[in-house]
Structures are given as structure tokens and as C-alpha cells.
Amino acid sequence: MSREEAKHVLQKAFDRLGFKIPLVPFELFYAGFHFFQDTEVVYGFGLLDGKKRHLYDSQGVMIQASILLDKKAYVYEEEEKQWHVAKIYKQKNKKGQLKVWHRFQPCGQPKHVKHSMYFFNPMDVPESTMDLMKQMSGYDFH
């Protein structure tokens, strides 16, 4: 995927979340985006908004971008200590235009997939969540 295509997907992710493009360099988001192009599944860790639409902070943008690229997305909601999976909905309106949206629905703990990516804020992750990520992936994120 070209840099311009990646920028388009990231801009769409920001728009869907109602976020403005951040002042931090686009390169920081592009670097993460570049890594998950070939992944099958993404895992996010953090807090979901009240309507179960997105994760807060930058990991939410990356999860949204992965959903736009048809990746399977799981989120571990740290307050609830509950896994959620992105459920995709599609509906045509009266004009025949397709509307696509998602909500995160509770699910069991997913299995780690070889081609996967983890998104989390290392400054905010509780120790118990770090242990869960290590248990799933076999990698120590500390």
C-alpha cells in the first residue's frame, strides 16, 4: 500500500472517530499502519467509549483503520476486564447507498494468531493487562 493510500485510510479512521488529525507527525501513525498491512487480526487494549464504537487515544485510530481494511479486530476493555470483537453491520439506504458501521460486542478471549498486531498505550496499561498480552502472544511487552 502506498503512502498516499495509507494516509487516506488513516484520514478516514480519524473522520469516523470524529478526531482531528493530531499535531504529532503523521509518520508515527504511518509506521504503525505499515506494520499491520499484512496482519490477519489486531488486538487493542484500553477503554471503549460508552457506545462501544471505539477505543480512546491513538490505539483507537489504529484499530479503526484496521477495521476499514477488513481485519478482524478485538479489544480488551480494561475497566470491564472483558474482550470485545468488532461486529460489522451493512445496510443500504433508500438511495441504494451502502452504509457500513461497527460496534464492539462482548466475546471470549481470542486466540493469538501468528500474523497479528497489538495496540496499546504503554504508559497506561495495568500490569494485569500486560500479563494477559504476554500470555496470549508469548512476548513480554514490559
pLDDT digits over 7-49, tens only? 778 778 777 777 766 655 666 666 666 666 778 888 888 888 7
Looking at the predicted structure, is the pLDDT value of residue 94 above 70?
A: yes
Instruction: Dump the DSSP string for the chain.
Output: --HHHHHHHHHHHHHHHTPPPPSS-HHHHHHHHHHHTT-SEEEEEE-B-TTSS-BSHHHHHHHHHHHHTT-EEEEEETTTTEEEEEEEEEEE-TTS-EEEEEEEEEEPPPPP-SSEEEE--TTT--HHHHHHHHHHHS----
Once rounded to an integer, what is the mean pLDDT over residues 85-106? 86
Once rounded to an integer, what is the mean pLDDT over residues 52-64? 74
The ranges assigned to domains in the chain are: 3-137
Express as a percent the part of the chain with pLDDT over 90.
6
Instruction: Give the residue, 43 or 117, on which the prediction is more confident.
Output: 43
